[in-house]
Amino acid sequence: MNPDQYTVVINGKPQGPYNLSELKDLNISANTFVRKPGMDDYKEAHAMPELRELLGFSYQKTAPQYFAAFDQRLLATVIDHFIIFGFYTIIILISYIFIDGKDQRIMAFMVPFPSIFIIKLIYGSIAEASKSQATIGKKLLNIKVTDLEGSRVSFGISLIRNLSKVLSVIPVFFGYLYSFLNKKNQCWHDIAANTLVIKDRLI
């Protein structure tokens, strides 16, 4: 499909494709859902720069309405830990070339083990404050971390969020389970950092 052609949701049904000149005749509004090749999901027309220029819309910043469920967040965390643990294991196995003795190898594996959680803390803080706003696990599930208005967070806020996970863990992980009681699916560490974990809007 031509990258300059657009699919438009009209009366709840995707129609098209249309080129830019044809979009002028459709009488679409700023909140009409539009998609073009290369996009993962539909966006409202005002969120696309070329349509704002063509149709005279202004960008409308709206609070997120679609939040990542507990199972999505849990799976993303499992994926991230699995990847980090995989690299950790590979490094330790390579180190075994220089370590003799069963006891020494066990110690070599166990002593640096807590570093996995430190690495996850640092990696998560950097990744969630990056342009993608997500770790690898979150990217695979199309979810990301934002502030309460859906914007990218700073590294400082991301670090606070990840450090605050201890608040969610200490009371027997109730801080995580609290997301079931929160309308925005926030865990305690999200509330502490004023953040959300959102998912892409689906049609």
Give the 3-state secondary structure of the chain: CCCCCEEEEECCEEEEEECHHHHHHHCCCCCCEEECCCCCCCEEHHHCHHHHHHHCCCCCCCCCCCECCHHHHHHHHHHHHHHHHHHHHHHHHHHHHHCCCHHHHHHHHHCCCCHHHHHHHHHHHHHHCCCCCCCHHHHHCCEEEEECCCCCCCHHHHHHHHHCHHHHHCCCCHHHHHHHHCCCCCCHHHHHHCEEEEECCCC
Q: Quick one: 81 and 51 in the same domain?
A: no
| Judgement on whether residues 80 and 30 belong to the same structural domain of the protein | no
Parent domain of 152: 70-199
Domain identity same for 14 and 83: no
- Say if 62 falls within a structural domain: no
Asked if 93 and 171 sit in the same domain, the reply is: yes
96 and 10 in one domain? no
Q: Who contacts 192 (Cβ-Cβ below 8 Å, separation ≥6)?
A: 160, 161, 164, 167
Q: Within a domain: residue 187?
A: yes
Residue 1 lies in a domain: no
Torsions phi, psi for 125 (to 5 deg): -65, -40
This prediction's pTM? 0.69
Could you tell me if 77 and 125 lie in one domain?
yes
Res 96: pLDDT:
86
Indicate whether 79 and 172 sit together in one domain: yes
129 lies in some domain: yes
| 103 falls within a domain | yes
Distance (Å, whole) CA 64 – CA 47: 14
Residues 51 and 119 in one domain: no
Residues 84 and 160 in one domain: yes
Same domain assignment for residues 13 and 83? no
Residue 36 maps to a domain: yes
**128 assigned to some structural domain:** yes
How many domains does the structure of the chain reveal?
2
> Is residue 101 located within the same domain as residue 124?
yes
Q: Does 77 reside within a domain? A: yes
The reported pLDDT for the residue numbered 3 is 57
70-95 and 102-110 helices cross at what angle (nearest 10)?
140
Contact 94, 135 (CB under 8 A): no
Does 177 lie in the same domain as 96?
A: yes
**Full pLDDT tens readout for the chain, 203 residues:** 455 788 888 888 888 788 887 887 787 888 888 888 877 778 888 878 888 877 777 766 666 778 999 999 999 999 999 999 999 999 988 988 888 888 888 887 887 888 888 999 999 999 999 999 999 999 999 999 999 888 899 999 999 999 999 999 998 899 999 999 999 999 999 999 999 999 876 54
